[in-house]
Amino acid sequence: MYLAIIELECFADTTISQAEKAINQLLDCWRYNGQIIGREFPIVLKDAVFSVRVLCPEVDSLQENYQSQQVKHAKQALSEASLLSPKVKILGRDINADDSDNCLSPSWKILYTNYLQTCSPLRCGEHFTPMPLYHFPAVANGDHRQLIKWQEDWSACDQLQMNGSILEFSAIQEISSTHSRLFQRGSDLCKRLEYLTKTPTYLYLYRVGGDSLLAESQRHCPSCNQPWRLTENLHDILDFKCERCRLVSNISWDFKS
């Protein structure tokens, strides 16, 4: 991913509140379209120029050909706050961030995230690298807000179960059970993406606990109860894959070597 600085210059008198509202609206629209990554974007004002640093999946993520209708409307609203169109300067590659996938036609995709990652939740099944959301048709209402909100909820549950201090078991239930509301939302999003892209799209199901490594190795798909063990581990994470239910999972982290 790449770090960029966005500059928005005032062309007439305005107020901080007007400018702040217009800029934050644009940032939200970029975020829900997958063009910028993260949730916090400090805005600095100096010499009538507002500037903000953002993380982008690719060098050209903020080009106009990727923008949604919401982004277009947000850009138009800038002038009402006496702001010129944003100027984008790429500062360089973030060496601590994930690289985006370069595969334009993956044979399959995975909806996956965890509490440590802030990249796209949609990954190439072949390379397991994050795929920029703006390369795909919007899942609903013109952007990918529902995917981002699912990712935020999943990451929050993962953080709670990793901390192990409050709501641990409820959080594990949400990310590991096929009966949870979070699972159902993720499954619906995968079906929607598969319909739009005509490419198989799988949902990752977290697994922890269990009785033994042997029992884990022999367990069946929790949705259809059919064998789903892979002959070889994928991407150092995935040990199970059900083509019928579009699910992937791991041997319990309690027994993984």
The per-residue pLDDT for range 34-70, each reduced to its tens digit, is: 999 999 999 999 999 999 999 999 999 999 999 999 9
pLDDT of residue 97: 85
Q: How far apart are CA 32 and CA 145, in angstroms?
A: 5
pLDDT of residue 118: 87
pLDDT of residue 183: 98
Taking a C-beta distance cutoff of 8 angstroms, is the pair 223, 179 a contact? no
pLDDT of residue 71: 97
pLDDT of residue 256: 83
- Say how many C-beta atoms besides its own lie within 10 A of residue 173's C-beta: 16
State the distance between the two ends of the chain, measured CA to CA, in whole angstroms: 30
Per-residue pLDDT of the chain (257 residues; tens, 9 = 90+): 999 999 999 999 889 999 999 999 999 999 999 999 999 999 999 999 999 999 999 999 999 999 999 999 999 999 999 999 999 999 999 998 888 988 778 899 999 999 998 899 999 999 999 999 999 999 999 999 999 999 999 999 999 999 999 999 999 999 999 999 999 999 999 999 999 999 999 999 999 999 999 999 999 999 999 999 999 999 999 999 999 999 999 999 999 87
pLDDT of residue 104: 72
Q: Which domains does the chain have, with CATH numbers?
A: 2-93 (3.30.70.100), 109-249 (no CATH)
- Tell whether pTM > 0.85: yes
pLDDT of residue 102: 82
Q: Where are the beta strands (DSSP E) in 15-67?
A: 43-46, 49-56
Q: How far apart are CA 24 and CA 10, in angstroms?
A: 15
pLDDT of residue 161: 95
